[in-house]
Amino acid sequence: MILLCNDDGFNADGLRTLYRELSKEDEVIIVAPETEQSAMGHAITLTQPLKVRKVEEEGRFMGYAVNGTPADCVKLAIAVLLDEPPRLVVSGINLGGNLGICALYSGTVSAATEAMIMGVPSIAVSLDTYENPDFNPAANFTRKLISRVLEMGLPKGVVLNVTVPPVPESEIAGVAVTRQGRSRVVESFDQRVDPRNNTYYWMAGEMRFDEVEEGVDCVMVGKNYISVTP
């Protein structure tokens, strides 16, 4: 059995696309946040109860939606909700890349990391776009990668962070084993005032790519390679 999680929420298109693809050959159960939990990192919930909603669609059991973080979902799934540990945890497909320093903020990557901590092999998968996403190439690659991981295993303490370029499958240049870069979001804050004259801020900013070295995650994705970062 394969456990699916994410940080975009139970109804996210990336998760649903991956579920449909993997369900063709494997038993798949989703345990994912009820609502979007992007950039929650490895946060866990300590100050309120976790509530779980069983999800069935068209008479088919799909899994559980949890009012918690991605790491909460993995913890609860493996410790309580599943009858036996999954063979593999796959987190994604995330809307937007998890490259460079951004991987440290990612709930998607942290869910996979939590699975590794709990002794289950894991993969995080992201699609490097926010506009008109086609998750099918990423889902197809993930299915192939899963077969290799289940056959060969992963070294203890290793998580695979995968980012797929937003191009048609025919335009993917190949697969590159990469190292995590140092590119990051350069923050700016949009200051506003609400109707009660209280000041508040929206975090804005954009990703800054300074690196040009071969083998860095963001560099290789920019060249239309699928990045696999251990």
Domain membership flag for residue 188: no
State the Cα–Cα distance between residues 104 and 120, nearest whole angstrom.
20
Question: What percentage of the chain carries pLDDT values higher than 70?
Answer: 100
Q: Which of 163, 181, 145 is nearest to 224 (CA)?
A: 163
Q: What is the pLDDT of residue 215?
A: 92
Distance CA 93, CA 22 (A): 12
Write down the pLDDT at residue 169: 96
Residue 182 lies inside a defined structural domain of this protein = no
Q: Look at residue 194 and tell me if it is in a domain.
A: no
- The domain of 47 spans 2-177+215-229
Residue 202 within any structural domain of the chain: no
Domain at 150, CATH number? 3.40.1210.10
Into how many domains does the chain fold? 1
Q: Which has the minimum average pLDDT: 128-137, 197-206, 220-229?
A: 197-206
Residue 138 confidence (pLDDT): 98
- 28-69: per-residue pLDDT in tens? 999 999 999 999 999 999 999 999 999 999 999 999 999 999
Residue 147 lies in a domain: yes
- Residue 42: the pLDDT is 98
Q: Is residue 47 part of a domain?
A: yes
pLDDT confidence of residue 207: 72
Torsion of CA 10, 13, 145, 213, to 10 degrees: -110
Q: For residue range 153-199, what is the model confidence (pLDDT) as tens digits?
A: 999 999 999 999 999 999 999 999 999 988 777 778 999 999 999 99
In a domain, 200, yes or no: no
> pLDDT band at 148, cuts 50/70/90?
very high
Residue 221: the pLDDT is 97
pLDDT (0 to 100) of residue 107: 98
Q: What is the pLDDT of residues 192-218, one digit of tens each?
A: 999 999 999 998 877 777 767 889 999
In a domain, 161, yes or no: yes
pLDDT tens figures, 73-124: 999 999 999 999 999 999 999 999 999 999 999 999 999 999 999 999 999 9
